Amino acid sequence: MLSQELLSALEGLAERKTLREYAHYYAASAFFGKEKYDEVERVILSHLEARDRCELISCSISSGTISDSGAVQFHILKGRLFEFYDYAEMSACFIRLYHIRDLSNNKEWVAMYIDENPATPWWAEERL
């Protein structure tokens, strides 16, 4: 499972990480010091690009916001989105990497969020 592989590869860099599973769906997160952005991005890319028979869509983010209950709480200073389809495993994985600033105290950190669906309906016909 890609989310577990990435969390293991980032073990020494992460200040905190979580992995949750529900109904064959995985959600993972990891948090890093703000200076770790480039290194975390390299680890993610190396794991995704090393796989055969897959599709990778990657988008860069130059800025953004995170709102909670209608109020902007955080600024995204930069980020990257990865949409990954593994043909061999018939799974889909969405990875978000953000450099975030908290507007209440100006604290900054890097966050990685992963949603992995090994039972995605993209390959429903192939699974029959």
Global pTM value: 0.92
Distance in Å from the first CA to the final CA of the chain = 22
The pLDDT tens digits of the residues spanning 38-91 come to 999 999 999 999 988 999 999 999 999 999 999 999 999 999 999 999 988 889
Q: How far is residue 63's CA from residue 8's CA, in Å, rounded to a whole number?
A: 28
Cα 1 from Cα 4, distance rounded (Å): 6
For residue 128, pLDDT over 70 is answered with: no
Q: SS3 for 70?
A: coil
**What element of type H or E holds 100?**
strand 91-102
3-state helix, strand, coil in the chain (%, to 5): 25, 50, 25
Q: pLDDT of 1-30, one tens digit each?
A: 899 999 999 999 999 999 999 988 999 999
Whether the Cβ atoms of residue 35 and residue 65 lie closer than 8 Å to each other: no
